[in-house]
Structure 1
Amino acid sequence: MCDLLHRASLVCKLWHQLVYDPDLWRRIDLKYQHKVTDTQLLTLTQISDRVTHIDISDTHNLTSEAVEHALKWCTHLRSLHMSRGYKLSDGVLEVVGQNCHRLQTLIMDGCYKITNKGLQQMAEGCPDLRKINLSRCSYRVTDDGVLAVAENCPRLREVILAYLSEVTDTSCVRLCEMCPDLEVVTLMFSGVSEKGVRSLTKLRKLKVLDISSLPGISPADVASLTQYCPDLEAMNVSLNPQIDDACLLQVVKYGHKLHLLQCVSCHVTDHFMSEVGKYTKTLKNLDIGWCQEVTDNGIRTLSATCQSLRYLGLIRCDAVTADAVEELVAKYPQITYSTFILESKKLIERARREGFMFNDDQVNMLV
């Protein structure tokens, strides 16, 4: 892309002025540009003195030193995306904290060289931060780093801390105390347990919550969340086998705005399926994949009684038969049913539209 722009600038004086017009370079999007170099990044960030957005996600050639140098010019930066920046170190966050005081969005999932020290330096200089994604930043990010963010960035609205095993209840409790405007919280596969989930009831503006795969949480605490978080719209409690019918029915009963519920591999039975329609007028998407106790009777009752339902995930619900699903697909066309067989057929049809050829024997083997 950078080479193309350079060639375009050589066409004539007018084209050169257009290519290097500062107003065109306030947003720099280099996502997936695997060949972009340090020199090119430095050139692009110096065209305009009012760069507000930079995305260098999945650009594997950029060094931490070049990114640090580039960010020194970007004092008006509002949004910085650096997903899977495997070479980026704490130095980048230090420069952000020193120069990018208007930053509102920081995305750095997969930046495994980042540590608490960098987070502390960034947080102290970015009080207006609204969104941060630290997923998969390795064991070097612990409660100390998250506490610095919570205590220095009170306007946070979205925090994503997935796959951070060293982030515990301490972080969750402090975030809920210091950042009351949080609307999106993701804690999946973190070190958060019962006390942390209980503290989420303080977030009255919470809309989206992912607490999947947290072995230490209790059904009672999960059940109470929608009572205290009235704006909750989407909730993921998957991979928590302790979450059962009674818990989920309470979630749905008080979740007056809840439209998405994911409970893959939870202890869901036909009892939940037969009762949930009585408690909700808003639930549109329900995923109960890998719930082995759900049968044909359960999905039939749910389909008949939950008038708002538009999607039902049934991947690896082995007690549900293909015949029952086909029956319901015909009877309730407004509902999309997702099973392994149906999804395989969709993939085959998509492949055929793109020119791939299958004979009947191959199709039968796949589905």
Structure 2
Amino acid sequence: MSLFPNHKRKREEEEKNDQDRPCKIRRTTNLPDDCLNLIFKYLKTRDDRNSFGLTCRDWHRIHDNNHESLWYRNNYESVHKYEPAGKYPKISPESLAIITCKLLIRFQHLKILCLGRLPRITDVDTLKSQSFGSNVQKLYLDNRTDYSPRYSDIQLSLIFSWFPRLKCVSLGSSDITDKGLETLVKCCPSLKTVDLKKCCSITDSGLSCLLQNCRELRSLNISCCSSITGIGFLGCAHTLTRLAACECKLTLEVIKAIVNGGELEYLYLETVPSELAKVDKGCIINTEAVLTISKGCPLLKHLFLSNCEDVELEGYEAIGMNCKELEKLYVMGCQRLCDMGLQAICDGCNKLIELYIDINKNSCSSSIIEHFDGKKPEVILWS
């Protein structure tokens, strides 16, 4: 007879209960991390992945290591008309910064990070979080609402220093200046995608610095940057395949510099409709400009020319003749697009998938529209 019957009975009960405890059973298997990582990657739903991390401490570590994106949503104030102010618990900006800092330290292997709606991050917070950013490749610091932070160049410099492997950065509507952009290219020389939409403090000097120092840059958005004229492209060898420069005041000389590399596949040059333009229409895209673009961009797949009212027949004929890879064409509000121009596009652009056209703001007849639709029924006509 056992001297400790109670202990024996207790042990037998624990062994029996272990059958209903998957956590303990799995922990005793001592699966290596590579097996656990493989299991985690096969989980499809968010609930399954979150449940995986609740199994035990080791599985929780695997969950954190595989967490690749963090999209921070600041709900201490309602910023959406459909969200009542009292729907979410209110957290002070100071507490939110501390919580965010802890999250960034917890997830050491993030590749995508959105901080666009955080309160201001202090210098102390940035110093505490420096260790987490070595793997981040995409960073979003857009300022899309009145509640979003207005990061200074000093704060941006501290943030950029976290991400030596950064490939993509989005700074739309931020207060970044040429000085901040200079710091960005020094900290992150391997940038491939930069979004500066509505960054009104950026000038051609900052643009030139970006193009000269980021030799792997492929995609650039400078739309609505009122201080950029485009001369920053002059004398700069670039490898851009995608450029958005809507409402920028680009001259023909600048356009020639932009298409000089011949590698552009996506070009967005929308202008302001004449009835909405208060002073001028910004980007001057006329027939000569389109001739330059069509001849200089043989790989072009998307061309956005909406509201470019100065493009005449010769320009559309050049698109049909030279843009053999074109898949999407936007000509909404192009008043001088006529039957012969649309016919040239129909005959020449054999890979066209979508044509965005406003029937009420051009010179095309209904018969040519019907002819186009009949000859290219697979092309989606948006009117």
TM-score by length of structure 2 reads 0.71
One-letter code of the match for 1:197?
Answer: F
Displacement of 1:51 after TM fit?
4.8
Q: 2:71 aligns with which of 46, 56, 75?
A: 56
Name 1:195's counterpart in structure 2: 231
The C-alpha deviation readout for 1:262-310, integer Å capped at 9, x for no partner, is: 1112222222112322223212221111111212332123212333333
Q: Whose Rg is larger?
A: 2
Q: 2:338 aligns with which of 295, 300, 303?
A: 295
Name 1:175's counterpart in structure 2: 210
Name 2:190's counterpart in structure 1: 155
| 1:332 maps onto 2:376 in alignment | yes
> What is the 5 A alignment of 1:299-310?
299-310=342-353
Distance in 1, matches of 2:69 and 2:353, equals: 37
The change in CA–CA distance for 1:147 and 1:67 in structure 2 (over 3 A counts) is: same
Distance in 1, matches of 2:364 and 2:24, equals: 64
Between stretches 57-66 and 273-282, larger displacement belongs to 57-66
User: Contact 1:260 / 1:284 at 8 angstroms: preserved in 2?
Assistant: yes
Q: 1:65 aligns with which of 85, 98, 118?
A: 98
Name 2:292's counterpart in structure 1: 250
Displacement of 1:321 after TM fit?
3.9
One-letter code of the match for 1:187?
Answer: I
Displacement of 1:166 after TM fit?
0.7
Name 1:283's counterpart in structure 2: 326
The change in CA–CA distance for 1:90 and 1:189 in structure 2 (over 3 A counts) is: farther
Name 1:106's counterpart in structure 2: 139
Q: 2:160 aligns with which of 115, 123, 126?
A: 123
**Regions of 4+ moved over 4 Å:** 15-18, 21-26, 46-49, 90-96
Q: 1:14 aligns with which of 22, 28, 49?
A: 22
Distance in 1, matches of 2:242 and 2:287, equals: 21
Distance in 2, matches of 1:271 and 1:136, equals: 37
Displacement of 1:177 after TM fit?
1.6
Distance in 1, matches of 2:97 and 2:363, equals: 52
Name 2:307's counterpart in structure 1: 265
Distance in 1, matches of 2:302 and 2:25, equals: 49
Distance in 1, matches of 2:321 and 2:24, equals: 65
RMSD of the alignment, in Å? 3.6
Give the match's secondary structure for 1:80. strand
TM-score by length of structure 1 reads 0.73
User: Contact 1:269 / 1:291 at 8 angstroms: preserved in 2?
Assistant: no
> What is the 5 A alignment of 1:21-36?
23=37
Give the match's secondary structure for 1:155. coil
Displacement of 1:246 after TM fit?
1.2
Distance in 2, matches of 1:328 and 1:222, equals: 30
User: Contact 2:168 / 2:192 at 8 angstroms: preserved in 1?
Assistant: yes
Distance in 2, matches of 1:66 and 1:175, equals: 33
Percent identity among equivalent residues? 17
The change in CA–CA distance for 1:75 and 1:241 in structure 2 (over 3 A counts) is: closer
The change in CA–CA distance for 1:89 and 1:296 in structure 2 (over 3 A counts) is: farther
Distance in 2, matches of 1:16 and 1:171, equals: 58
Distance in 1, matches of 2:139 and 2:266, equals: 23
Distance in 1, matches of 2:300 and 2:217, equals: 17
Distance in 2, matches of 1:288 and 1:310, equals: 14
| 1:209 maps onto 2:217 in alignment | no
The change in CA–CA distance for 1:184 and 1:128 in structure 2 (over 3 A counts) is: same
Distance in 1, matches of 2:286 and 2:350, equals: 23
User: Contact 2:113 / 2:138 at 8 angstroms: preserved in 1?
Assistant: yes
Displacement of 1:154 after TM fit?
0.8
One-letter code of the match for 1:144?
Answer: K
Distance in 2, matches of 1:112 and 1:314, equals: 38
One-letter code of the match for 1:207?
Answer: T
Displacement of 1:95 after TM fit?
4.8
